Copies of this chain bind each other. A is one copy, B any other.
Amino acid sequence: METQDLRKAGLKVTLPRVRILEILEEKHGTHMTAEDVYKELLKHNDDIGLATVYRVLTQFEAAGIVSKHNFEGGQAVFELDRGEHHDHMVCVETGKVIEFVDPEIEKRQHEIAARHGYELEEHSLVLYVRPKRKK
């Protein structure tokens, strides 16, 4: 019931916001740029401006509904945030994105921050990988 998510975030339930949320759900597991979302909306014949897509995605991020990543290359990408944290592995040849979690790495990050007198607030880990070539 996605309209709940919107209300909870203090956002009015408007057509653009609902549509964008639908797109993100439909494409769950992928990482979309604002432009990708916009093009998808056009396909669905929704008359929503690119500026609105940016505005809505930014609000969603603030509300914790989506998370935003800055991989390499100008455009930021967004994905639905279902609470399950994970990191990313990006194939430099195909652009494919794989998600993963490693408890040990997570743990050590906290330890490292603590060792320097800090609390870990957030982190960003991206592995840039290449298909293993067969010998």
Chain A residues with a Cβ under 8 A of chain B: 70, 72, 89, 91-92, 98, 100, 102, 104-105, 108-109, 112-114, 116-133
Q: Judging by beta carbons under 8 Å apart, are B121 and A92 in contact? A: yes
Q: Judging by beta carbons under 8 Å apart, are A121 and B129 in contact? A: yes
Apart from A102-B108, A105-B105, A119-B132, 18 more pairs, CB < 8 Å: A89-B112, A91-B118, A92-B122, A100-B112, A104-B108, A105-B108, A105-B109, A113-B127, A116-B129, A118-B130, A118-B131, A119-B131, A120-B127, A120-B129, A123-B128, A124-B128, A125-B125, A125-B126
Instruction: List chain B residues, Cβ under 8 A from A130.
Output: 118-119, 121
